[in-house]
């Protein structure tokens, strides 16, 4: 549980910092282009953008550290582009199957594997939900599947160059997550239409 809390807190910190920046940029875009304002759409768009910021912090933003050296008093900023434990896996389902085996070299392996397995699925689910909700022309199985594969392939490809592990199983799990999100959207749409029908009666 502490692993999940750690990731969520880190994501939230970035999202909080990003919110005022997004709000200012979005207001300038709306004002300059004279776009019609739909409050419901703007709230959903803001939540989606902030979610993407949080997702980026856990996937494509390199690890970094900054502060003031206590000995010299100088400010430092270190960005880590190399990770000795990073790896590349191009064999489908190899990593997924490893999650179900005991790993004596990692303490709390069952928790680590559960977080990796479920995390890779559900952290991408909002993409499948928000995209067809915000842009109706994307409301199709093929479109969401293409977007899901595209986004996850881009992320895994980027991770190869920033010292993170690249794994085809992550692409599989992430895409499944996107499609689960789309499934939730379809269910939500069915209930929304039923409510509208009942209200009209």
Sequence ranges of the domains in the chain: 1-59, 83-200
Per-residue b/e over 28-46, b at no fewer than 16 CB within 10 Å? eeeeeeeeeeeeeeeeebe
> Which tokens is 189 given?
């749409």
pLDDT at 120: 92
pLDDT at 200: 57
Q: Are 146 and 139 in contact (CB under 8 A)?
A: no
Please name every residue paired with 77 in a beta bridge, in sequence order, or none if there are none. 66
pLDDT (tens digit, 9 = 90+) per residue, 158-185?
998 887 889 999 999 999 999 999 999 9
pLDDT (tens digit, 9 = 90+) per residue, 26-50?
999 999 998 888 999 999 999 999 9
Where in the chain does DSSP place strands (E)? 63-68, 75-80, 88-89, 166-167
Separation CA 185–CA 194 (nearest Å): 14
Separation CA 146–CA 89 (nearest Å): 22
């Amino acid at each position: 549980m502490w692993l999940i809390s750690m990731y969520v807190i880190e994501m939230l910190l970035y999202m909080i910092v990003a919110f005022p920046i997004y709000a200012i940029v979005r207001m300038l875009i709306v004002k300059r282009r004279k776009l019609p304002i739909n409050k419901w759409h703007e709230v959903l768009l803001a939540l989606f953008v902030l979610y993407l910021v949080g997702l980026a912090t856990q996937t494509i933003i390199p690890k970094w550290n900054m502060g003031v050296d206590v000995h010299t008093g100088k400010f430092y900023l270190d960005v880590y582009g190399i990770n000795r434990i990073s790896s590349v896996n191009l064999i489908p389902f190899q990593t997924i199957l490893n999650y179900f085996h005991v790993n004596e070299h990692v303490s709390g392996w069952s928790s680590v594997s559960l977080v990796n397995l479920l995390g890779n699925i559900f952290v991408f689910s909002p993409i499948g939900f928000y995209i067809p909700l915000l842009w109706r022309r994307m409301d199709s199985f093929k479109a969401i599947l293409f977007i899901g594969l595209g986004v996850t392939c881009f992320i895994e490809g980027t991770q190869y160059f920033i010292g993170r592990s690249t794994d085809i199983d992550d692409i599989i799990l992430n895409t499944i997550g996107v499609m689960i999100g789309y499934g939730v959207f379809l269910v939500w749409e069915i209930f929304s239409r039923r409510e509208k029908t009942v209200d009209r009666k």
